[in-house]
Structure 1
Amino acid sequence: MSALRGLALAGSLLLLAACTTVGPDYRLPDEAKLNAPAAQGPFVGATSPAVSQEPVPAGWWKLYDDPVLNGLVEEALKANTDLRVAAANLARARAIAGEADDAGGFKLGASAAGMHARESGEQYLKSEQLPVENLADVGIKVSYQVDLVGRLKRAAEAAHADAEASQAALDLARVSVAAEVARAYVEACANGHELAVAQRTVDLQSRSLDVTRKLVGAGRGTAVDVTRAQAQLDLSRASLPTYQGRRRAALYRLATLTGRPPAEFPKTLEACAAPPVLKQPIPVGDGATLLKRRPDVRQAERTLAGATARIGVATAALYPNVTLGLGAGSTGLLADIGQAPANRWGLTSLITWTVPGEAERARIRQAEAGSDAALARFDGVVLNALRETETSLDTYAHDLDRNAALKAARDQAALADSQAQRLYRAGRSPYLAGLDAQRVLAGAEAALAMSDSQVATDQVNLFLALGGGWER
């Protein structure tokens, strides 16, 4: 009858556990910045004709229609070392979540032992010496830890939230890697472009120097004209190593991003002399789709969910722990194992409880403060995502305007240089006027090339702010 009462008690405890879970159930607070109407609406900077409110595609780099860039990004997403670290962290977090799921509940154990020994007679209240015997013990035990107030449930919730945050961290790493590859590719080709512009300027000024020498030899100039032309040529040549070094650094970074040593950088890109160009407006969507898409927002939200669940874990420490057990086995002489005299069984219940003190209540306050901090971090991530996107949109729009102005300035400088050269050769203009026109043209060409590079980089930065590229 006592065994039946024990089973009845166990059933009551299980029923109680099924309907009792301490701590707050997670829900995103209404006051979270994510829910603000301004965070969900269109972007302020989305009025430029260079962007559209179409949704951002998963593989945004494919909009460039550049097979080389596509191949580099795909290679990096497979071999990048940061992604391998993030994937390992995710696997670890999932294993921890699996362990949390398996905590409590039914546990089955088995034991077996054999011994050839002489037992102490006095432990059996005998004065004579006991004979040497073959002894054995075998048994099985089933235990069940009752999740009385949902401590194990909250711990599992926290572990799963951590695993989902790790998944978001992996997605965030993918976003960063794709953008870094595109940025390094743009820098390599853009520096190649700027190098080509600088080289054309050097070639132009070299030819101008030859013409100047011939004119001086014909009596239509002075030695000062030659010296000035030579100085301008040397100054232009001095810029070439800078672009060559920047291009090589970008190539080394591409090699590292794709999981290769720097010496194995893609050799074909050494000849790249034009950054990739988009032939359509950049699709940016709106605030609502941005906040759903960005992995760092999702990571912060899952971290908040985990912090909320840990309040329940801390609160559960105020209540008892209950474990039920059922064991059976056989202990005695080896020859009697399995026989009635050696058989045993037992039904046990174990209740442990530490009287709550200030330490337990302090842990609850710690968990609540951790949840408040996680909400503040989540709000900060949301606001930062919106700020980064708006800033990137504004920067891109203004750099496009500057690029258009520089193109007009370059065209006018080229026209002025052509006119100055004709007038000088006809003897109707001093040499300094032609030299100044060349200097202005060289500066305009260099400024436009730099602006082209900046516009291409702005595009990558905008895609990075939009948070696409992790969907696979």
Structure 2
Amino acid sequence: MIRNALCAAPLLVVASCATVGPDYSPPAISLTSHFFGEASAPLVDAAYEQWWTGFDDPALNELVSRGLAQNLSIRGARERIRQAEAALARAGGAAQGSGGISAEALRSRDGSGSIDTHEGLTGNAAFVFDLFGGFRRGREAAQANLDAARQDEGTVRLAYLSDIVDAYVAARYYQNTAWLTRQAIESRRATLAAVNRQLTAGDATRLEVTRAEASLRTAQATLPPAQSGFETNVFRIATLLAEPAGPIFERMKAGARQPLPRRAAGSGTPADLLRNRPDIRAAERDLAAATASIGVAEAALYPSLTLSGVVTDVEEHTWSFGPRLALPVFNRGFLDANRRQAVAVAAEAELAWRATVLNAVEEVQAARAQTIYWRRQVAAQRAAVESTTEVQALTRRSFDSGEILFSDVLDADRVSLESQMSLAAGARDLAISWVRLQVATGRGSQVGLTVAPTGPMPLAAN
């Protein structure tokens, strides 16, 4: 019976073109032709867009560029790509073949004192035929994992861009609020001195002096949180750049205006996300790898054929050579469970891909709405600052002429500072929402790459 089975081995080799398991095809998903409330043109080359230059801030541009080369998370993602490349090489032809050569030289002495010398050389080799495509599916899975690792690098790059720009925007915001607070402190200190002089002259009351002191102390109390916020975000920038904080702090301490986007940014179309978002493409590649793994698990259910040979002892010229056919009989239930598990993993991977697409659409629409809202808010708040500044000046003139009470001056100062603080906060929130929109649309994910990640594209149906 064994002889007949081995004689049938050539027939199995002929059948080696058969590949079990499902053939992968990119998934399709139904998407609208445009985002809610917007009919924007498709985004072209968004992955290579250096969107942060839209802030027109040379200091920010320099920090971002340094971090793209130095950030540890990005460098770690590149190492994961190298791991995936090695895994793909391991899954190639080397996975089917094995063998080696060993040599030995022994000297021994028996009881009579006779010394015997033995030298030997052994060579062995084996090759496993890919009868049902298990190795082929394994290579497909390894290639898909490599593609996913390359896309994951893009996701890490987007996360870095978001973090570094957010930290810079926040640092400049706190720096601006600290400057506004110092201006208010100086103004209120001068007001307190003037009221004290009036008290000495009998033109002011102790209540007015106390209120002026309270106004000054209140402004002074808001300065430390602003200073702390500035330094905290500078430290965050240093971590993202993998650099000491000292030189960055000195550079940032010089001051600059709060970053504001100088141009509007289109959202593109939902279908653009399938091409531009690396997390979506990575999820699609994970699905491809999971689909190929079904074939690997299914191939294990079928017979395997190994051709092996051994040559030993050059002096005696002994050798052996022949095929070995293995039939999975007693562990078939275990192998079938592996296949069912692989099918479930692939089904979960498809659901994860669909969820990633829908989350991406949500992120774009939310970031776009927030950007529109904060742009309107900043415009309105800028007008409010102009009005409250004028009110503050008129109030002081009216007080100097004796037309109003001192409490009116304090109220005008407080409202003016609050208005300026609100403008600074609105500018920060506008910048951050604009950053969110850039990242949500996948802009900048491949900046600095010389080779674009590859892989089949999923399909979008309107």
Same structural fold, with TM-score higher than 0.5 when normalized by the shorter chain: yes
Give the match for residue 128 of structure 2.
Answer: 145
Give the match for residue 208 of structure 1.
Answer: 191
Give the match for residue 15 of structure 2.
Answer: 16
Give the match for residue 60 of structure 1.
Answer: 51
Per-residue CA distance 1:205-230 (angstroms, 9 max, x = gap) = 22222333344444433221121111
Distance 2:435 2:231 in 1: 20
Distance 1:264 1:12 in 2: 72
Residue 177 of structure 1, CA deviation: 1.0
Instruction: Answer yes or no: is the 8 Å Cα contact 1:13–1:146 preserved in 2.
Output: no
Which AA in structure 2 matches 1:303? D
Does 196-205 or 102-111 show the bigger shift? 102-111
Per-residue CA distance 1:96-143 (angstroms, 9 max, x = gap) = 111011344444533333344589xxxxxxxxx9x9754443344443
Distance 2:124 2:59 in 1: 63
Instruction: Answer yes or no: is the 8 Å Cα contact 2:364–2:441 preserved in 1.
Output: yes
Q: 1:105 to 1:361 in 2, by over 3 A?
A: closer
The 3-state SS of whatever aligns with 2:92 is helix
Give the match for residue 151 of structure 2.
Answer: 168
Give the match for residue 72 of structure 2.
Answer: 81
Structure 2 gaps, min length 5: 449-462
Per-residue CA distance 1:404-451 (angstroms, 9 max, x = gap) = 221122222112222221211111222222222222111111111111
Instruction: Answer yes or no: is the 8 Å Cα contact 1:46–1:52 preserved in 2.
Output: no
Within 5 A, what are the aligned runs for 1:73-472?
73-116=64-107, 133-328=116-311, 330-331=313-314, 337=315, 342-355=316-329, 357-471=332-446, 472=448
Number of aligned positions between the proteins: 438
The 3-state SS of whatever aligns with 1:302 is helix
Instruction: Answer yes or no: is the 8 Å Cα contact 1:406–1:448 preserved in 2.
Output: yes
Q: Give the counterpart of 1:44 among 25, 36, 50.
A: 36
Distance 1:457 1:350 in 2: 65
Q: CA RMSD in A?
A: 2.5
Distance 2:95 2:203 in 1: 100
Distance 1:386 1:445 in 2: 35
Does 419-428 or 52-61 show the bigger shift? 52-61
Structure 1 gaps, min length 5: 120-128, 332-336
Residue 328 of structure 1, CA deviation: 4.3
Which AA in structure 2 matches 1:16? A
The 3-state SS of whatever aligns with 1:363 is helix
Give the match for residue 62 of structure 2.
Answer: 71
Residue 11 of structure 1, CA deviation: 5.3
Instruction: Answer yes or no: is the 8 Å Cα contact 1:192–1:274 preserved in 2.
Output: no
TM-score by length of 2: 0.87
The 3-state SS of whatever aligns with 1:454 is helix
Distance 1:419 1:310 in 2: 76
Residue 297 of structure 1, CA deviation: 0.7
The 3-state SS of whatever aligns with 2:126 is strand
TM-score by length of 1: 0.86
Instruction: Answer yes or no: is the 8 Å Cα contact 1:109–1:142 preserved in 2.
Output: yes
Instruction: Answer yes or no: is the 8 Å Cα contact 1:194–1:449 preserved in 2.
Output: yes
The 3-state SS of whatever aligns with 1:282 is coil
Residue 242 of structure 1, CA deviation: 0.7
Residue 52 of structure 1, CA deviation: 7.8
The 3-state SS of whatever aligns with 1:279 is coil
Instruction: Answer yes or no: is the 8 Å Cα contact 1:192–1:271 preserved in 2.
Output: no
Instruction: Answer yes or no: is the 8 Å Cα contact 2:287–2:353 preserved in 1.
Output: yes
Residue 147 of structure 1, CA deviation: 0.6
